[in-house]
Structure 1
Amino acid sequence: MSQVPLHIATEFPARSLEEWRRLVDKDLKGKPFTSLQSPLEGGLTLQPLYASQDAAPPPPGVAPYVRGTQALGHTEGGWLVCQEYAEPDIAVAAEAIRNDLERGTLAVWLCLGPTRGIPVKDEATMEQLLASVLLARTPVHLESEAAPVSMASLLLGVATKAGVSRKALSGSLGIDPLGILARTGALPGGVDAMFTEAAPLVTSLSGSAPELRALLISTRAYSDAGATSVHELAWAIATGVEYLRGMERAGVPPEVAARSVQFALSVGGQFFPEIAKLRAARLLWAKVVAASGGSPEAQAMRLHARTASATKTQRDPWVNILRGTAESFAAVVAGADSISTSPFDEPLGAPDEGARRLARNTQLILRDESSLNRVADPAGGSYYLEQLTTEIARAAWTELQRIEGLGGMEKALTQGDIARVLTETRAARDKAVRTRKQPIVGVSEFPFLGETPVKREARKAFGVENSARVPGVTEGAEVSRSVGLKPSRISEPFELLRDASDRTLAAKGQRPTAFLASLGAVAEHTTRSMWVVNALAAGGIESREKHGFADPAAAVAAFAESGAALAVISGPDAMYPEWVPALTSQLKAKGARVVAVAGRPGDNEAAFRAAGVDLFIYAGADLFSLLSSLHAQLGVA
């Protein structure tokens, strides 16, 4: 065996990006280079190759904190495993908190409110809720949909009663006026009034409770309503700019205000862009605070990440475990200080203990078995992620400048600009979902019509949302108003079709059914036929398959025995010109209410439609619209 050392740097000299590009262009044989690029949300483009940038970001722990706010990352103690609670029953919520803290949860995040959270009314209720929480050791975060300063005072009152000094407290108090305005559509007293009310608390806690942050910037409302990564990031930073200005008007300097801010961002299904988004968030916040005169210490972002609600499904909810794992993994790699993994059954209502256990253990496995906390900034050094971080930061900065041109985030909300942008982004995302360009496993891809529903105990229902009256507001009081942002999950269109199918099954004893007339040998039709079965199942339509008809008469006879009202012709394109016209007319004569053909019709469309074909099912079509049309023609309500 040779003992001669291999010097890779000299044996394989570096090649320039231009040299790689010339080779790629040669292999493309005339196709444009753009054919290798993939579009991302927010107007970004994924390149096929990334190279080293001119200047690498500073190491972890150094402003502008792209690589994290701590020099060693989370290698010493790991990130904080944080659980979120929105259970409307105080006793049930308190028991859930106790159970989770005993089994690995390190911090709690309380969603408070009379309609979509825990209905804390007074100090006694808050004390009951936190009965098992050691406030001197456990960070507590509040996120209130109403009266956040009052909720903060209740928490501080409980701590005082328990003999816990403010210096020992950690977490955040959840004073987020624009977040409340975005979620509920109304803010009693207005934004400036809340800044004035919060200013003494912010000033007091800056000295007495340095680890307890009074202000919150939560993007939950935007993420749940369909914001892209770029918009979510831009609006978070725009909110931060608004808070620094508002607190300064209330007498709190930017240095103090910046140290009082807790950020909470959602992590969605685009793995690498979500990593880049969180890294870019630290970069942009550092730039904003520096421009405001803040010190490097004040520029460090305290970042909480939660797995997104919009990506979760009610159908085949077990897949949510995989989604939550990938999203939590992305948050860890991006260097979030604390992370909440949503229970897989969250779309079905208040999570039960088993689902919370799986969510909690997801992070414990990532930390203790996968050892993700043993590397400071795992994303550092990746040309792709470093460049993507820069691109997302620049795109978000452009959007931030647009918001500033409107007069700031409050005006963007109250004048309906945010709602308008979200309507546009939701429409684009909805189109991608409907055409399965953005597939949803278990819903639009590989749906299982025979899935067993998740069994859960009956729980108390949440209060009525979007009440005409804002709790605690007297008639005539000043109220800032905006278009309340409606949460939505991307799987909802197809789930509505599945719900209709379930109702038909319950009422008639069977689902809407399709007879699949597969032409030719199994090898000739099976790929297309299985694709059609999968596509129909996304709408709750069950397929009855017959493989390999040799002539139209056999297919028609089998259809007559099936009792189906929908027939789908599936086979190789070469057989269609001869078979489709004759078979369609015979199927219609035997009672087929609808005849569909699998595949693009091409030049045969006019002839096929003249023969009686009602629609064509093919990849890239608006599958939701096709399935909705089939429901209507089959009489599915």
Structure 2
Amino acid sequence: MSSEPLPIATQFPPPPVEEWRRLVDKDLKGKPFTVLQSPLEGGLSLQPLYTPQDAPAPSEPPGVAPYVRGTHPLGHTEGGWVVCQEYAGPDVARTTEALHNDLERGSQGVWLVLDAPHGVDVKDAATLERLLANVPLDRTPVHFEPTTDLLTPASLFLAFAQKRSVPKQALHGSLGIDPVAALARTGAEKVDVAATLAKAAPLVTSLLTEAPGLRALLVSSRPWADAGATPVHELAWAIATGVEYLREMERAGVAPGDTARSLQFALSVGGQFFPEIARLRAARLLWSKVVAASGGPPESQAMVLHARTASATKTQRDPWVNILRATAESFAAVMAGADSVSTSPYDEPLGTPDEQGRRLARNTQLILRDESSLNRVADPAGGSYYLEQLTGEIARAAWAELQRIEALGGITKALVQGDVARVLAETRAAREKAVRTRKLPIVGVSEFPHLNEAPVQREAHAVAPAKGEGVIAPPRPFRMAEAFESLRDASDRYHAAHGSRPRAFMANLGTVAEHTARSTWIANVLAVGGIEADEHRGFADADSAADLFAKAGTSLAVISGPDALYPDQVPPLVAALKAKGATTVAVAGRPGEHEAAFRAAGVDLFLYAGADLFQLLKTLHTQLGVA
């Protein structure tokens, strides 16, 4: 065997991009090149190919401003990121037990969402002492995210640490003072951002010297991420909040660099794997630029970033798929270099997570770290033409939105004037349209639903909506699957009342080979709405089909088969079905030029890819008597 090296790289030089483009245009046969681009929310799009000309290799190593590649020179290779689980259950005793169990079994940090109805109701020092009784404060980062009472948790925690004889120098975490998030979440006029920050200024100054590991301020994007903001808007508004805090704290006598060193960011990570990696990298870039422009030194420009898996992407139906969603989102957060990560339990949308849900969530990160060794490479995304280019595009788009917000007077004024609510309404409507038309599919809900799945029983705690007293209406948190899940809920109620689910008679035309692909697709579509498909494998004629329909015990019939058979067979079949009592007849597929003739024959609606599936299924529910 020859030991001579094979000079493959020199024998096969890469072809120029122009040659590749010429071949692609030839294969497209007149279609525009844009059909190969994948649109993203926020006006961005993914290209089919990225080259060194799109994004040259990054010049700065990890740990160097502007910190695109991470804030630590060796990444997370020295111990890994912090597995920091979040807790928001209203039951203090249950939350205390869950917190203790998680810390004993691999969790390293604690993130407490406070204040009813949004989180743990810590009313006084005794409640906090009970909650943190089993937490070793000297080696466990503790983070607070109060939603209404912003300053009290800080004083309670510092007093508790003193009572436990834990020196301030040993404390790590954040106290969560975030008045902009409180304003966005509650809409209450009594949330005075400037006044709150002015009161927090002495605490910020004292902690810098007495407890440098404890950050007083927080920028949480949770109110916007949960209410339907696009990733670009979520990032831009988070940076705008940081700008507001730098500005207001400087008015209170705190230098921008000191404010930046007292601040932590918490962003949600959604389901688009590579764009989310790029967005978190862009977040560090933007924040570094903001602090530098404010006069902060390089060491204060490093963003401390907590990443949480998004709530909007999770489902109540087929919740086991949430394990996969949370795994991908956690993976993206780690690849992007987040300092701490919280993985939501798969059963969180069903109520307070139980031990199994928390264990799977906790172990997701432990597997990513200890078995997949994701902590052993600093900035694994660095140098990818695709991700470097996408990082820059997202950063530019978010910077443009930041400039727009600043032109309005800042994020607080944008909130109070209703600008943020307007944008949220627009982006949420666009996302809901994408979900309803299945351009944004949801596995287990709008795609591949398990109609007869056994429900996962969890103890649910009702959460009353916050009632804002101010000039803005708080954004309502929502999950993308809610609309379709409401149809399944209605089907369950129908099943409980009648002993069976709403049904559709499937009038399949042609041979099994001819109609199977389309009839299988239709059965899946009907199951999205909780409607069972009563399938039949072809008929001798229209009358025999109608006779079988009469025995099916339903008023809905769906005709499915190859397009070539529709012009001749649909009109007589519709007439026969309606003569036997069908009140609704649907046809699978786009009608095209035959729509007028089919409707004249009695067809009520058409089911096809790209239609507003939710509205069609809702119409079928109404006609089937499903409340």
TM-score range, shorter chain: over 0.9
Amino acid at match of 2:413: K
Quick one: distance in 1 between partners of 2:428 and 2:113?
25
Alignment of 1:443-458 (within 5 A): 443-456=445-458, 458=459
1:517 pairs with 2:519: no
Paired position in structure 2 for 1:390: 392
1:346 to 348, 354, 362: 348
Paired position in structure 1 for 2:542: 552
Residue 144 of structure 2 aligns to a residue whose secondary structure is strand
Quick one: distance in 2 between partners of 1:481 and 1:339?
35
Amino acid at match of 2:576: Q
Alignment of 1:91-490 (within 5 A): 91-186=93-188, 188=190, 190-456=192-458, 458=459, 460-462=461-463, 464-467=464-467, 481-490=471-480
Q: Compared with structure 1, are the counterparts of its residues 189 and 423 closer, same or farther at alpha carbon in structure 2 (3 Å cutoff)? A: closer
For residue 560 of structure 1, report the CA deviation from its aligned partner: 1.1
Paired position in structure 1 for 2:83: 81
Quick one: distance in 2 between partners of 1:467 and 1:377?
43
Residue 243 of structure 2 aligns to a residue whose secondary structure is helix
For residue 38 of structure 1, report the CA deviation from its aligned partner: 1.2
Quick one: distance in 2 between partners of 1:377 and 1:101?
27
CA contact (8 A) 2:186 2:467 kept: no
CA contact (8 A) 1:73 1:335 kept: yes
Paired position in structure 2 for 1:16: 16
For residue 492 of structure 1, report the CA deviation from its aligned partner: 0.6
Quick one: distance in 2 between partners of 1:629 and 1:30?
39
Quick one: distance in 2 between partners of 1:518 and 1:436?
24
For residue 55 of structure 1, report the CA deviation from its aligned partner: 5.6
For residue 461 of structure 1, report the CA deviation from its aligned partner: 3.9
Quick one: distance in 2 between partners of 1:224 and 1:297?
32
Quick one: distance in 2 between partners of 1:215 and 1:550?
74
2:600 to 610, 615, 623: 610
1:562-610 superposed Cα distances (whole Å, 9 cap, x missing partner): 1111000000111111110000011001011100000111111111111
CA contact (8 A) 2:186 2:468 kept: no
1:500 pairs with 2:499: no
Paired position in structure 1 for 2:517: 527
Paired position in structure 1 for 2:557: 567
CA contact (8 A) 1:446 1:534 kept: yes
Amino acid at match of 2:361: A
Amino acid at match of 1:157: A
Paired position in structure 2 for 1:579: 569
Quick one: distance in 2 between partners of 1:511 and 1:319?
24
Paired position in structure 2 for 1:7: 7
Paired position in structure 1 for 2:45: 45
For residue 4 of structure 1, report the CA deviation from its aligned partner: 3.1
Quick one: distance in 1 between partners of 2:210 and 2:329?
35
**Structure 1 residue runs without a partner (length 5+):** 470-479
Amino acid at match of 2:550: A
CA contact (8 A) 1:173 1:215 kept: yes
Quick one: distance in 1 between partners of 2:543 and 2:116?
65
CA contact (8 A) 1:413 1:483 kept: no
For residue 280 of structure 1, report the CA deviation from its aligned partner: 0.1
For residue 151 of structure 1, report the CA deviation from its aligned partner: 1.0
Q: TM-score, normalization: structure 1?
A: 0.97
Quick one: distance in 2 between partners of 1:587 and 1:559?
7
For residue 281 of structure 1, report the CA deviation from its aligned partner: 0.1
**Structure 2 residue runs without a partner (length 5+):** none
Quick one: distance in 2 between partners of 1:584 and 1:461?
47
For residue 551 of structure 1, report the CA deviation from its aligned partner: 1.7
1:604-629 superposed Cα distances (whole Å, 9 cap, x missing partner): 11111111110000111110110011
For residue 184 of structure 1, report the CA deviation from its aligned partner: 1.1
CA contact (8 A) 1:42 1:230 kept: yes
Residue 298 of structure 2 aligns to a residue whose secondary structure is coil
Quick one: distance in 1 between partners of 2:573 and 2:502?
22
For residue 460 of structure 1, report the CA deviation from its aligned partner: 4.8
Amino acid at match of 1:196: A
For residue 20 of structure 1, report the CA deviation from its aligned partner: 2.4
CA contact (8 A) 1:181 1:481 kept: no
CA contact (8 A) 1:525 1:571 kept: yes
CA contact (8 A) 2:273 2:329 kept: yes
For residue 633 of structure 1, report the CA deviation from its aligned partner: 1.3
CA RMSD in angstroms, aligned pairs only: 1.2
1:542 to 532, 535, 551: 532
Amino acid at match of 2:419: D
Residue 297 of structure 1 aligns to a residue whose secondary structure is helix
Residue 551 of structure 2 aligns to a residue whose secondary structure is helix
Paired position in structure 2 for 1:477: none
Q: Percent identical across equivalent pairs?
A: 71
Residue 301 of structure 1 aligns to a residue whose secondary structure is coil
Q: Compared with structure 1, are the counterparts of its residues 363 and 393 closer, same or farther at alpha carbon in structure 2 (3 Å cutoff)? A: same
For residue 189 of structure 1, report the CA deviation from its aligned partner: 5.1
Residue 548 of structure 1 aligns to a residue whose secondary structure is coil
Q: TM-score, normalization: structure 2?
A: 0.98
